[in-house]
Amino acid sequence: MSVRQLVSRIDAATPAHRDRAVDGLRALALLAVPAGHWLLGGFTRDGDGALHNASPLSAFGGFAPVSWVLQMLGVFFLVGGYASVLSYHRRPSTGGAWLRARMVRLGRPVLGVTAVWALMIPVLYAAGVPEDTLRTGAKLVIQPLWFVGVYTLVTALTPCCARLARRFGGWAAAPLIGSVAAVDFLRYGPYADAVPSWVGVLNILPGWLFAYQLGVCWGQGRLSRHCARLLLVGGTALFALLLLGLHYPASMVGVPGEARTNSHPPSLLVLALASAQSGAAVLLHGRIGRALRRPALWAPVVVINLSAMTILCWHQTAMLAAAVPASFAGLVPGLTTSPDSLGWIVARTAWLPVFAALLVLISRYARRFEEPWETGDRAGNVRRAAAGLLAAGFAVFALRLA
């Protein structure tokens, strides 16, 4: 089958009621995750040949605006809330069954990648890969998986979000901003020295629930274009105030050596960006949908959405598949050299297609972890139990890194 025939077949198989714009926004947010990690994450190689995490943001503070573009988790949670509430209202069974199905769908790929890495670690160590490199790899693999836990939690709150959206409309998300602002004041205000460090954890749920709640409101038709304009303008203004007036860190991702971070846990700057992104997404919804009526644009969106969890779980492995072998060759520009020069940026950009090709290759095999499990199969139950034990072992190894 030719590419043109495949594209036409995908377009023809798409139901007329499918919201292509929402799928397009999800695909864009998904691609931003590997792009961000591949561009803003690097390695240094020590004298023993081991790799350690590093970031070009440590040397190039002016590179921080790139993180504003690539930090699209607000869009992802927005479309997640939109899709979840529609799915919840159309569910053929109970709310509990609906939630269990969503949890299993999210959990299968996570179980797959952690089980595979649990098997790989002793093999790589026996092959001569330094222990520090394996620890670095474990950190990178576990790094994006926090998202799955948070997304699972906010998905479980969908019924509550739906009730709030029906009663308050888009204003249902306002208390979440107030909550994060209050915690930020405690963390960074005049009495910050007296506030315990764990207080920041209180921002995790409201920080990521904010855009999800907006998505639920949007899915229920309670987020008007007027409200979207307020989100866009207000979010942009708040972002500028926090950045220029209150001196929040410019980077949307953590920078090694910096005392403050915007993302872990989310600060008010993350919500300001999510607000602006959400407003823009709602306002551009119609244009995006019309553009994706073109089969050549729509087909890649379908492929990306079908591989969503595979992309999320395995993109760091794709980068490591290039960097770990390169570490045996010495200092390879853009891979094992310190990310502290313009030459590194040029070289890393050249490596991006290689990372993408490796991810496509890995996905051919890893996609099976997104497929539904067969029930009633004893051998399958044994495999799942073994995978669970392996995943637990990898979690123990990874969590010991803190």
Q: Rounded to an integer, what distance in angstroms lies between the CA atom of residue 14 and that of residue 142?
A: 34
pLDDT tens by residue, 136-145: 999 899 888 8
pLDDT at 213: 98
Average pLDDT in the 303-327 region? 94
pLDDT at 375: 61
Q: Rounded to an integer, what distance in angstroms lies between the CA atom of residue 341 and that of residue 204?
A: 34
pLDDT at 232: 97
Q: Rounded to an integer, what distance in angstroms lies between the CA atom of residue 278 and that of residue 75?
A: 6
pLDDT at 77: 96
Which region holds residue 49: left if phi is over 0, alpha if psi is between -120 and 50, else beta?
Answer: left
- Asked if pLDDT for residue 1 goes beyond 70, the answer is no
Q: Of 44-53, 224-233, 234-243, 257-266, where does mean pLDDT reach its minimum?
A: 257-266
Phi, psi at residue 172, to the nearest 5°? -60, -25
Q: Where are the alpha helices (DSSP H) in 63-202?
A: 64-70, 73-89, 95-126, 131-142, 146-156, 158-168, 174-188
Higher-pLDDT residue of 305, 263: 305
- Asked if pLDDT for residue 399 goes beyond 80, the answer is no
Q: What is the DSSP string of 219-270?
A: HTT---HHHHHHHHHHHHHHHHIIIIIS---S-SS--TT-S--SBTTB-HHH
With CA atoms as reference, report the closest residue to 108 among 393, 369, 387, 395: 369
- Asked if pLDDT for residue 401 goes beyond 70, the answer is no
State whether residue 192 is helix, strand or coil: helix
CA 268 to each of CA 36, 47, 162, 275: distance values in angstroms, whole numbers, following the listed order: 20, 41, 24, 10
CA-based radius of gyration for the chain: 22
- Asked if pLDDT for residue 2 goes beyond 80, the answer is no
pLDDT tens by residue, 250-301: 998 877 777 788 988 899 999 999 999 999 999 999 999 999 999 999 999 9
Residue 97: how many other CB atoms lie within 10 Å = 11
* Predicted confidence band of residue 380 (pLDDT cuts 50, 70, 90): low
* Predicted confidence band of residue 3 (pLDDT cuts 50, 70, 90): confident
Q: Rounded to an integer, what distance in angstroms lies between the CA atom of residue 344 and that of residue 327?
A: 15
Q: Which residue has the tokens 């069954």?
A: 97
In the chain, where the domains are located: 22-399
Look over the chain and give the mean of its residue pLDDT values, rounded to a whole number.
Answer: 90
- Asked if pLDDT for residue 402 goes beyond 60, the answer is no
Is the C-alpha dihedral spanning 56, 62, 64, 69 positive or negative? negative
pLDDT tens by residue, 60-78: 888 889 999 999 999 999 9
Q: Are 41 and 140 in contact (CB under 8 A)?
A: yes
What is the percent of the chain with per-residue pLDDT over 70, rounded to a whole number? Answer: 97
